[in-house]
Chains A and B, each alone.
Chain A
Amino acid sequence: MNWVIDNVDLIWELTLIHLRQSVVAIILGFVLALPLGWLAWRYRAARGGILTVTGLLYTIPSLALLPILPVLLGTPILSEVNLILALTIYAIALMVRSVADGLGSVDASVRLSATAMGYGAVRRFWVIEFPLAGPVILAGLRVTAVSTIALATVGALIGIDNLGYLFTNGSQRRIIPEVLAGIVAVLLIALLVDALLIAAGRMLMPWSRAKRRRARRGALPLEVSVA
């Protein structure tokens, strides 16, 4: 515990770096996933291709993707840009499915009535479809955000320092409190970002507050004797 107290500055500094890397990747991932997800939803033919490619990218372990990306894209391997790029790719892969499924969850009758009332396609997307897809997209965004924040620690293995540095350094010098501090810091940031997203969701989507937890189990309202 002494170690933690002595090194609060270091932890704080690394936390900020970690946040910066993660948040950039999350935002980029979200923004890029929107058009891709929309394409996958709108055009049946594109759906398979887009989901397959993103799925394949997501399958590749992070430690492997980090050396491969620079070769494909020309970015220097040991740079922060490389890490953020890899994190963004994972974020896109996770979000594309949420966006596609979110848009797909919008009741067709709502869309049809919007068109019948005279909404043009673009306006209808931003005013009707996207907001109604919100809850599903937000759920995906929360998962993506938390995963990205945890994943970013891998950067330390190739020398890109963020909170992962506490793991590599703690491992080499056998300082357990340091490693623990790293884990706790990552958890706290993840919790914080998740809470912020939930709050944002409540503010931006007041209609979804009325929906209680979606009842997953089918509605058989009667008790059943299982004796």
Chain B
Amino acid sequence: MNLIAEAIAWIFSGDTGLLAPIPIALLQHLAYTFASVAVAALIAIPFGWLIGHTGKGRDIAVAISGAARAIPSFGLLILLVLLFGVLRTPEAAIITFVLLAIPSILAGAYTGFEAIDRKVIDAARSMGMTEWQILWRVEVPLGLSLLVAGLRSATLQVVATVTIAAYVNLGGLGQYILSGLPLRRFDIVLGGALLVAALALVLDGIFALLQRASVPSGVRADQSVRFAPKRSASARTAPAVS
């Protein structure tokens, strides 16, 4: 418990010595995170929507997501940094972050569309909506909530990897954890860890609110949308039997 107090004291003292000041590190962390997620979104969302709308290419997407999960982000980061050369570390890092973020956003995009009742899409088409109109007026609004869930997951993954990227001197909040260790300054290590944890939790909270807000009004009245396999209706209304 003493260590926690010391860590908090360190945070507020702002005495980071040779390391960057906390606000700078925080800004770096956020900048890398948001830039990478934005780029990943620009790539993944159109593909995800295409897969969700046409129903094709889903198997490839699932396979990619599965394979991507097995790749250690730390290893990928080191590999790219070595390949690009020390001078181009930021570029290598951003590419790593973007690659990491793509699977979750892709999945969020197409599962969002897949979760929509097929009858609604059929009705929209039979009323005379063009494919673009179906996409923008029906699928995107109804699929938004799961897309945000995908963005949320991707953002947290990137935050975690940016933390690790302090190992290649990228800055960010991870530098306190990694630099504190050899110095045996465990107050700094813990302080850095608490800062990272706090950042992650705050971002997660913001996304949770965004996710709820992105459920269209008519749907909110009916159910809550979760990033989880759909449960059978009967399981939902079953009385608890012991």
Q: Which residues of A contact B (CB under 8 A)?
A: 42, 55-56, 59-68, 71, 77, 97, 101, 104-109, 111-112, 115, 121, 136, 139, 143, 146-147, 149-151, 153-154, 156-159, 163-164, 166-168, 170-171, 174, 176, 179-180, 182-183, 186-187, 190-191, 194, 216-220, 224, 226
Of residues B58, B174, B194, B231, which shows the largest number of chain A Cβ atoms within 10 Å of its Cβ?
Answer: B231
Inter-chain contact A68/B193, CB cutoff 8 Å: yes
**Cβ-defined partner of A61 (8 Å) among B1, B160, B186, B240:** B160
Q: Mark B227-242, 1 if CB is under 8 A from A, else 0.
A: 0110110111110111
5 cross-chain pairs, A with B, having the tightest CB-CB distances, nearest first? A218-B118, A108-B238, A61-B160, A190-B70, A64-B196
Inter-chain contact B71/A171, CB cutoff 8 Å: no
**Cβ-defined partner of A67 (8 Å) among B71, B164, B190:** B190
Contact residues of A: prevailing secondary structure: helix
Q: Which residue of B has the minimal Cβ distance to A154?
A: B74
**Cβ-defined partner of A158 (8 Å) among B82, B119, B181, B194:** B181
Cα A147 to Cα B65 with chains together (Å): 12
Cα A170 to Cα B58 with chains together (Å): 36
Inter-chain contact B197/A64, CB cutoff 8 Å: yes
CB of A73 to closest CB in B, whole Å = 12
Q: Mark B77-115, 1 if CB is under 8 A from A, else 0.
A: 011011100000000000000000000000000000010
Chain B residue contacts of A186, Cβ below 8 A = 70-72, 75
Inter-chain contact A150/B193, CB cutoff 8 Å: no
B178 at the interface (CB under 8 A from A): yes
Chain B, range 193-242, C-beta contacts under 8 Å to A: 193-194, 196-197, 200-201, 204, 228-229, 231-232, 234-238, 240-242
CB of B75 to closest CB in A, whole Å = 4
Q: How large is the interface on B (under 10, 10 to 19, 20 to 34, 35 or more residues)?
A: 35 or more
Inter-chain contact A153/B74, CB cutoff 8 Å: yes
Q: Mark B155-185, 1 if CB is under 8 A from A, else 0.
A: 0100110011001100000100110010000
Cα A164 to Cα B189 with chains together (Å): 20
Cα A65 to Cα B106 with chains together (Å): 28
B55 at the interface (CB under 8 A from A): yes
Inter-chain contact B181/A159, CB cutoff 8 Å: yes
Listed A/B pairs (15) with beta-carbon separation below 8 Å = A60-B200, A63-B174, A64-B192, A107-B235, A108-B232, A108-B237, A109-B234, A146-B69, A150-B73, A153-B74, A164-B74, A176-B79, A217-B55, A226-B125, A226-B131
Inter-chain contact A56/B201, CB cutoff 8 Å: yes
**Cβ-defined partner of B168 (8 Å) among A106, A149, A171:** A171
